[in-house]
Structure 1
Amino acid sequence: MGNVQSPPNNDPRYVSATRAFTQKELEDLRSLFINLANQSQSNGKYISPSVFQSYFGLHGPLGERMFDLVTQERKDQRLTFEDLVDAKATYEKGTKDEIEEFIFRLLDVSGDNFVGRSDLETVMIAIFNDILCIKGSEDRSCSHQDIFNIFLNAANFSKHDEGGTEETMSFEDFRSWCTHLPSVRKLLGSLLLSPDSGRPGYQIPKLLTSKAIDSNIILLRKEYAWHIGGALSHQDLEDWNLLYHSSLNGLSFNTFLGNISNHAGPTVLIIKDKEGYIYGGYASQPWERHADFYGDLKCFLFQLNPVASIFRPTGANNNLQWCAINFSSEDIPNGIGFGGRVNHLGLFISANFDQGHTFSCTTFGSPCLSKTNRILPEVIECWGVTQDATQDKNDAVKGTILERFKEDRNMLKMLMFMMTT
């Protein structure tokens, strides 16, 4: 089969690339190549662009750019077995820097050695239209272009295209963009995985609501859920149930607490304020009465509109989640929130649900999430994250074993003490 049967052993790049794989992985790659090469009607010698793009689900400029990178930009429209091994060794088995350098080059869909806003827009259009198959915005008040823009607004362009008018992105700009958009980073880092392998970054939680609810009043559209889900594990990306919506249940803290009381898992809190900004937080722990901060490092803050960003814990402090109910002290403000410090949280909604605040905070490295520090909520909604039942069961079993082990160890200590006295 041409290149498949007689690899160029004198090519140091190819020889080095093969060392990144087990023998079984190389055999699987060989089988994949043979299959796609036969479909390409090349007598098993190479894979054509159309077959490559069809198999990996990559079309248009993004698919063309990926094919160029995998074929080392030879422009001969022929992807050899050595090309496939070389590309996957770098893109999937390489160091973090090597993988991110490959993705950064992939973003240059125009092939002009610069990554500008137009390149990113082309990539985001491909992600939503061709890969995630979200063809249009679910909210009639927001155009599809607006959705693209919230992801582009998270990018910084600190360089200038010499001889051009467009500002461009540096490698550090790209890394920062990926930090704020983990869903984008996950997806762009898995494009050469097998389409049936459950590729990271492709999962969109199923949003479950009552059939009687008008979908146009829901803040959490699919694009937003995909964005938030980028910071979560696969087991948290199954079903998200709408537990509370202020337009239906009223802006009431008591109703909010009542509606979520039967949900034991994590929740996604989303706020739209009267400035039109949309943002919120992921609460890994139930909303329960505390006199101080609580929670764990799974909590995070996020922005949805007019810019999409994720802000994970920095480790600066443990002021993660806040839920104070019916306290009379001014030092314990009643309400819910995330991060920062008392009376100066990264995000806080008062117990009246009629006002709140957002400040930059070191807990999440987040900025003020709205136009101003003061929040006047217009819509508040909360979603319950349904975690994988199998995972929960395994965790429960582990917890039981640990507790049993602790009890047995204490009993053993007591027996040893009695034997020595």
Structure 2
Amino acid sequence: MGNSGSSSDDPRYSAAARAFTPKGLDDLRSLHASLAAQSETNGQYVSPDVFKAYIGIDGPFGDRIFDLVSQKRKDRRLTFEDLVIAKGTYEKGTKQEIEEFVFQILDVSDDGIVGRSDLEVVLTSMFNNLFHEDGSELKQIEAFIDSANLTSDSMSLEDFQKWCAHVPAVRKYLGSLLKPSDSGTQIPKFLIPDNIDRGQILLTKEYAWHIGGALSHHDLKEWKLLYHSGVHGQSFNTFLGHMIKAPTVLVIKDKEGCIYGGYASQPWERHPDFYGDMKSFIFQLYPKAASFRPTGANHNIQWCAVGFSSESIPNGIGFGGKINHLGLFVSANFDQGHTFECTTFGSPSLSKTTRIYPETIECWGVVPAAGDDRPEGLKGTVLDRFKEDRHMLNMVGLANSSE
């Protein structure tokens, strides 16, 4: 096959080419020509090294991606037709076709089985690419793998699809490898007051990336540390006094060593009942890494009560479930709480035990992106925000899994 793109007899190329506009094909032709020029092949094909540099992935994982994109010919040549066929499936295919292609990427050993060792290679490569780690974050890689809840030594396509629902950041990344200009790997910039020692901070860039996988880009510009229990004290009133009218990320480390929390799309304000919308979710960070979005079973999203004397209105903050049996709850004294299996988010208990004793609590404000008029962080009606949320889920191929 040559580089013209118009004389190929391969029916796969003809079918894939029809998925692109003339401009889209011209853009792909220009991309291939640029990469082929760097490969010094007289414009005929792209070499593995140049392709891997383009996608930013080296090593066995990069080799696996090149092998799939070059149609497994093993001739170490990526033609223009190959590029169109791969992108036609990866970017323009049905949800099932895209999922199957991405799932194949995980089979680094090319033995027809996606095993734990394959996942370790893929996640290590991802972390190295995103965070410039060299494998030193093994415990966080294990946290992602453990969230797959594998019942055997291998992962099926169905297992992969379920895993993607809980690790959307991984799915976003795997779904963006051939689109480096739109990588979906944005990590927020941390804004931390000068009087707070960074060594005290629970939230790491790896944790933020995981949480951000379930958020849209305008929520991933800057996160400002609003409250830290080790600095501001364990006071509910102090906590509320530091809040802003914007979405927040609550992170808790308990005395069992577990780290988890929730994204609150609505400000933390005093209410006698549940409130909030479908953009909120809860998550685990360690020893498992998983996100749990609303299932639609009920609308018991956020809880924020203080100063109520009735036993039917527990004072504290939390997410999901029902009164006195929340998916995540911290009492107004910030010294204890609970986490139960929760139908609101389809989540398990987030810690090792249902009764929790927080060691550190911190809360981050999502700073609105420039030009975003949410001051107030609450753009549009609840229905508008739900539609926006559904659109984001569709973009990463996860809409059905959250229902």
TM-score normalized by the length of structure 2 = 0.91
Counterpart selection for 1:189 from 175, 180, 190: 175
Q: CA deviation at 1:211?
A: 3.0
- Which amino acid is the alignment partner of residue 133 of structure 1? F
Q: CA deviation at 1:158?
A: 3.5
Counterpart selection for 1:355 from 328, 336, 343: 336
Q: CA deviation at 1:394?
A: 11
Q: Which residue of 2 aligns with 1:403?
A: none
8 Å CA contact 1:158, 1:173 repeated in 2:
no
Counterpart selection for 1:238 from 221, 235, 238: 221
- Which amino acid is the alignment partner of residue 322 of structure 1? W
Q: Which residue of 1 aligns with 2:38?
A: 39
Q: Which residue of 1 aligns with 2:212?
A: 229
- Which amino acid is the alignment partner of residue 266 of structure 2? Q
Q: Secondary structure at the match of 1:155?
A: coil
Q: Give percent identity, aligned residues only.
A: 64
Q: Which residue of 1 aligns with 2:368?
A: 387
8 Å CA contact 1:246, 1:379 repeated in 2:
yes
2:100 and 2:285 mapped to 1: Cα distance? 27
Q: CA deviation at 1:155?
A: 1.4
Give the ranges of 4+ consecutive aligned residues of structure 1 lying more than 6 Å apart after TM superposition. 393-396
- Which amino acid is the alignment partner of residue 260 of structure 2? Y
> What pairs with 1:73-152 in structure 2 (closer than 5 Å)?
73-130=72-129, 132-135=130-133, 144-152=137-145
Q: CA deviation at 1:319?
A: 0.2
Q: CA deviation at 1:329?
A: 0.5
Q: Which residue of 2 aligns with 1:418?
A: none
Over alpha carbons, which structure has the higher Rg?
Answer: 1
2:302 and 2:54 mapped to 1: Cα distance? 44
Q: CA deviation at 1:393?
A: 6.5
Superposed CA deviations along residues 68-99 of structure 1, whole A, max 9, x for unmatched, are: 00011110000111100000000011111111
Q: CA deviation at 1:37?
A: 1.1
**Greater length-normalized contact order (CA 8 Å, ≥ 6 residues apart):** 2
1:302 and 1:350 mapped to 2: Cα distance? 19
- Which amino acid is the alignment partner of residue 79 of structure 2? T
TM-score normalized by the length of structure 1 = 0.87
Does residue 219 (structure 1) correspond to residue 202 (structure 2)? The answer is: yes
1:100 and 1:8 mapped to 2: Cα distance? 30
Unmatched segments (≥5 aa) in structure 2: 382-403
Which is worse superposed, 60-69 or 6-15?
Answer: 6-15
Superposed CA deviations along residues 242-267 of structure 1, whole A, max 9, x for unmatched, are: 1111111111111111111xx11001
> What pairs with 1:19-418 in structure 2 (closer than 5 Å)?
19-130=18-129, 132-135=130-133, 144-159=137-152, 167-193=153-179, 195=180, 197-200=181-184, 202-260=185-243, 263-392=244-373
Q: CA deviation at 1:149?
A: 1.0
Q: Secondary structure at the match of 2:348?
A: coil
Unmatched segments (≥5 aa) in structure 1: 138-142, 160-166, 401-421
Superposed CA RMSD: 2.0
Q: CA deviation at 1:110?
A: 1.2
2:368 and 2:5 mapped to 1: Cα distance? 49
Q: Secondary structure at the match of 2:371?
A: helix
8 Å CA contact 2:251, 2:362 repeated in 1:
yes
Q: Secondary structure at the match of 2:245?
A: coil
Q: CA deviation at 1:385?
A: 0.6
Structure 1 residues 49 and 347: alpha-carbon distance in aligned structure 2, compared to 1, 3 A threshold:
same
Q: Secondary structure at the match of 1:301?
A: strand
Which is worse superposed, 331-340 or 214-223?
Answer: 214-223
- Which amino acid is the alignment partner of residue 83 of structure 1? D
